[in-house]
Amino acid sequence: MQTQLVLTIISDDKPGVVELLAQTITHHQGNWLESRMAHLAGKFAGILQVAIDSESEAALREALSNLSDQGLKIVVESAADSVKTAGKEFQFSVVGSDRPGIIFEIAQAFASRHINMSELETACSSMPWSGEPMFEATGLIQVPKSVNMDDLYDQLDTIADELAVDIRLEAPAEDTHH
């Protein structure tokens, strides 16, 4: 029987980390599925989904644990069955001057409406004309059918005004509202 594992990985940023992970997974007959990996602040961090036969799972878990000798901290979890809620997927983006609290305000607006944030990517850079710190975030949210979209747009407009950022929600192609 196949089982799914989710690995979170962090190590110093150095060549060969992905190769070492892939070699370990392949050696134990695991199948590398989805992953997101990034280099941040001198560290390599990632999340990875692996499919593996149940008989090989314990040996793979042990082998991954032994990679700590080579500087990899790996947490292995059994994947949860994902339940899709009825609703729509939206892309969102936030751009503006960097300041504490931007993600908190937006995440709070989503969570208070039971909106799941399925992807989030953030970056800091400098504004081209002033050199001021600029914050950017993009992601995907799953919005339940029960959500009043006008209320959500109003709250996001209020947050955008308070934090001096631009917040956009893009509906799926077939939905042209807002």
- Residues 6 or more apart whose CB falls under 8 angstroms from that of 23 comprise none
pTM of the model: 0.76
Residue whose C-alpha is closest to residue 49's, from 83, 7, 87 = 7
Encode pLDDT of 41-56 as tens digits. 999 999 999 999 999 9
CATH superfamily of 87-170: ACT domain (3.30.70.260)
Domain boundary assignment for the chain: 2-78, 87-170
Query: What does the pLDDT average to over 80-85?
Result: 69
* Structure tokens belonging to residue 40: 């941040």
Pairing of strands 2-12, 31-40: unpaired
DSSP state of 71: T
* Structure tokens belonging to residue 105: 């305000």
Per CATH, 2-78 and 87-170 having the same topology is answered yes
- Residues 6 or more apart whose CB falls under 8 angstroms from that of 54 comprise 1, 2, 3
Query: What does the pLDDT average to over 74-90?
Result: 84
pLDDT of res. 80: 81
Whole-angstrom distance, CA of residue 28 vs CA of residue 129: 52
pLDDT for 178 beyond 80: no
CATH superfamily of 2-78: ACT domain (3.30.70.260)
pLDDT for 82 beyond 70: no
DSSP helix/strand/coil, 140: strand
pLDDT of res. 95: 95
Encode pLDDT of 101-148 as tens digits. 999 999 999 999 999 998 999 999 887 788 888 999 999 999 999 999
What's the whole-number average pLDDT of the chain? Answer: 91
The H-or-E segment that residue 72 falls in is none
Phi, psi of 23 (to 5 degrees): -60, -45
pLDDT of res. 154: 95
